[in-house]
Amino acid sequence: MRKFREFIIEKLILICGIASILFVALIFLFLLREGLAVFKIVGPFKFLFGKSWYPISEPPQLGILPLILGSLLVTLGAAIISIPIGVGCAIYIAEVAPVKIKEVLKAGIELLAAIPSVVLGFIGMVTLVPLVKNLFHLPTGLTALSGSIMLAFMAIPTIVSIAEDALYSVPKNYKEGAFALGATHWQTIWRVMLPAASSGIVAAVMLGIGRVIGETMAVMMITGNAAVIPHSILAPVRTLTATIAAEMGEAVVGSEHYFALFAIGIVLFIISFMVNVTADIFLHKRQG
């Protein structure tokens, strides 16, 4: 009887494991089926590198270069802001902070991760957008920079918690060895701990970036959504995610526009897949 129970539980878990992979595969197949149809209307090159996005005109112009660049620019900006802050915060929590402060900081970071992105977007819209506008004397504060700052807030919790974990799992004797050789605390962190935890930190950064690329609501609310090729981080941009979210409701099922939105989905899927794979490679390198 006990063996039988073991058997059932084992199989159930197996089914759960297979199911999640199956779902991913099905989603990807569905994306491909709906998205690839767009290439009958525009060539892949024209789709990826076309400069105008006018999906509801006759005939539609379906070029997503401005959208790809918009997404990349916002993500790059968010990375530049969030990586130093996130990694610095992780070092402080893992190495420097006394236990009490450490607890408070960790709880705070978790709280930051719990704020829904639409709320962050709303806060950004009423506080950050006017600030950016006045600070840089811009015609409008709905810019890539506003989006980057808001997204950095969303990436920081991911980066901090995983990077802190990586630092924490560096073997104790590395640190003791460094101290024994007469290194100061900072020298130990900089020369020993960081290099030893580097693959975990890179993975943390990549996962943070993955979160940023896929973020939709906040970006849609504060980046202005103008489909132009951005020339500066102080200009409005339109991201891949915001385009799908804003236009899916209108797209008539089976129209060019509908297929194009799914094709954007494929592009987005591929980008986040690459980011996640990179993160995974680094995570495994640490364990290996």
Residues that bind other proteins (CB under 8 A): 52-57, 66, 130, 133, 139-140, 142, 220-221, 224-228, 236, 238, 246-247, 249-255
Minimum distance, C-beta of residue 151 to other proteins, in the bound complex (Å): 18
Minimum distance, C-beta of residue 56 to other proteins, in the bound complex (Å): 5
Q: Give me 285's structure tokens.
A: 């390198």
Q: Over the Cα atoms of the chain, what is R_g?
A: 23
Closest-CA residue to 147 (of 185, 127, 121, 165): 121
CA distance 255 to 37: 10
H-helix or E-strand containing 162? helix 144-168
- Beta-carbon count within 10 A of 270 CB: 12
Q: How far is CA 125 from CA 86, 122, 149, 217, 224, in A?
A: 23, 5, 12, 12, 10
Is there a contact between 282 and 203 (Cβ–Cβ < 8 Å)? yes
Minimum distance, C-beta of residue 251 to other proteins, in the bound complex (Å): 7
Minimum distance, C-beta of residue 200 to other proteins, in the bound complex (Å): 39
Nearer to other proteins, 28 or 122 (CB): 122
Amino acid type, 244? I
Nearer to other proteins, 207 or 227 (CB): 227
Minimum distance, C-beta of residue 12 to other proteins, in the bound complex (Å): 19
Nearer to other proteins, 140 or 276 (CB): 140
Nearer to other proteins, 52 or 272 (CB): 52
Nearer to other proteins, 89 or 221 (CB): 221
